[in-house]
Structure 1
Amino acid sequence: MAEVISLMDIDDKEENHSLKKSVNKGKNVIAAGDTPHPKATPWVEKYRPQSLADVAAHRDIVDTIDRLTSENKLPHLLLYGPPGTGKTSTILALARKLYGSQMHNMVLELNASDDRGIDVVRQQIQDFASTQSFSFGAKSCVKLVLLDEADAMTKDAQFALRRALQSRCTRFRFAPLEDIHVRERIKIVIEAEGLDVPESGLAALVRLSNGDMRKALNILQSTHMASQQITEEAVYLCTGNPLPKDIEQISYWLLNESFSVGFRQISDMKTRNGLALLDIVREVTMFVFKIKMPSNVRVQLINDLADIEYRLTFGCNDKLQLGALIATFTRARSALVAAAK
């Protein structure tokens, strides 16, 4: 196999003697030399799959990579997709299969958000790639360069890598995990940790994860640290998300109360429960899909809610946007009445 520089979406850092510095972009990292107490170990690391066979989902992709590796036909790879979908687990499991105990000598990890300039390509990557490879038996293995958040690299650095990567990579997209895969993996952790999680709490974990396994495990561990029993309410309180019953109540006010009454009641609940209006809008949008209404009214309502969410994302005034939210439902109510006549 020819020497390879592979672009991978990597979301954790293991001990790596070739790494010049370790960074944490909101991801769970155990830096080299750290010996955290077992109870303090992030569960996303503690329960990360150690082999390709253990990866929770995307079996078609993982099995293809596994087969190509076994046949010594592994191409340049580009793994992409949202966070917590198995990109890291897959590539690190692949590295273990390729290198075994020599993994840390054969893998260079760089965070492209910090090590992002042209000098990284010209110096660190090229220097690492040009050093002698270790031999395993009668053959010499390729080296692996992992670039985290490569889209954050400077244009010059991306251009320098473009010919080596873009035209030569076999691309695999890691979609958000299906609920059944998140649920199965969470159950394994629950059993291993001896946690008290009723079905409602498990359902809340799966729902709030949105197909992100890392998020699911982080919520599970955080809730466990705050509550002995991981109930639905404990999960929602820990994450700050509105409870489903609160969203049902807010939706009822929006559909039935006057502007002034709805504004006062939603404001009171928002303050009392420490809710963010952005989260309320997102949850109400999902609730709209459950309401029986003409398709044209639903589409207009969802589009209007999307506009409010967009404005809130950019820091628009909460009171103004709450008024816009109530006005949006007032128009929808009028359209529903007209459609019923």
Structure 2
Amino acid sequence: MWIEKYKPKSLGEVVGHEGLKSIVGKYIEQRDIPHFLFFGKPGTGKTLIAELVAKELLGGTNDNFIEMNASDDRTVEKVRKIVLNGIKHSTLNGKLRIILLDEADGLLVPAQEILRRPMEKSSKTRFIITANEVKSIIEAIKSRCMSFEFKGVNKEDMLRRLRFIRDNEHSTISDRELELIATNCNGDLRQAITELEKASMGDDNGAEIVKRYLQRG
């Protein structure tokens, strides 16, 4: 799948989010970060950047990295099992421990509330929390995090990336068809890459993509 093949391997390779990358990059240089809250609509790179921050801080090892997707289990019991039990143990090599709570707006309020104390008291643990709907995150968590709103990738940056992938894959999708994909994916680069792959693999190449998008307009 092209979305995996062209997945950025470092913060510098991420398309867009220049201000965020600059700020977060400075913390990584210092080998420490605050708790982060990344929020915004799906497909804007929240989880990707969270994982890259952990990778660059921890040197590519997963030993001090804990990840939980709140959409899988929203309960207090799950948070206690994965998060609270995880921070009881010392970190390896004295490094930070990074806990990624993905789609945390899916957590029940009591499950969010038990995060307050470990976020304050654990000197070696940093939380990176992602959410589609920031209003579903309790104030006690928001006040303990440095927050960044993720917006869609702008059209110029998206087209630049789509052209690179098209040319690298020797696809015959035209610039006009790329324009239609970029316009209709509304800043969601992940969706745009998937649409480009689908159009490139079809027998009619991009014709069906063009037809479908023109019908929408």
Question: Normalising to structure 1: TM-score of the pair?
Answer: 0.54
Whether contact under 8 Å (1:57, 1:86) holds in the other structure is no
Whether contact under 8 Å (2:32, 2:96) holds in the other structure is no
Q: Deviations over 1:54-110 (max 9, x none)?
A: 1110111011101111023411101111122122232222122112231x2222221
Question: 2:209 aligns to what?
Answer: 235
Question: 2:129 aligns to what?
Answer: none
Give the helix-richer structure, 1 or 2: 1
Question: 1:175 aligns to what?
Answer: 151
Count of residue pairs the alignment pairs up: 195
Report the CA distance between 1:167 and its aligned residue.
Answer: 2.2
Question: 1:148 aligns to what?
Answer: 102
- 2:194 counterpart of 1:218: yes
Report the CA distance between 1:162 and its aligned residue.
Answer: 4.6
Question: 2:130 aligns to what?
Answer: none
Q: Deviations over 1:168-225 (max 9, x none)?
A: 1000111111101111111121122111111111111111110001110111112222
Question: 1:121 aligns to what?
Answer: 79
5 Å-filtered alignment, 1:268-287, equals 283=217
Whether contact under 8 Å (2:36, 2:147) holds in the other structure is yes
Letter in 1 for 2:201: M
Structure 2 alignment gaps of length 5 or more: 120-140
Structure 1 alignment gaps of length 5 or more: 1-41, 247-279, 284-341
**What SS class does the counterpart of residue 101 from structure 1 fall into?**
coil
Whether contact under 8 Å (2:67, 2:100) holds in the other structure is yes
**What SS class does the counterpart of residue 59 from structure 2 fall into?**
helix
Question: 1:107 aligns to what?
Answer: 65
- 2:71 counterpart of 1:97: no
Letter in 2 for 1:161: L
Report the CA distance between 1:155 and its aligned residue.
Answer: 2.1
Whether contact under 8 Å (1:196, 1:228) holds in the other structure is no
Aligned residues: percent identity? 29
d(CA) in 1 for partners of 2:163, 2:6 = 12
- 2:50 counterpart of 1:74: no
- 2:195 counterpart of 1:195: no
**What SS class does the counterpart of residue 157 from structure 1 fall into?**
helix
d(CA) in 2 for partners of 1:224, 1:106 = 40
Letter in 2 for 1:46: K
5 Å-filtered alignment, 1:78-89, equals 78-89=37-48
d(CA) in 2 for partners of 1:46, 1:200 = 24
Letter in 2 for 1:189: I
Q: Deviations over 1:226-274 (max 9, x none)?
A: 23633xx32145xxx4x43x4xxxxxxxxxxxxxxxxxxxxxxxxxxxx
Give the strand-richer structure, 1 or 2: 2
Letter in 2 for 1:227: D
Question: 1:39 aligns to what?
Answer: none
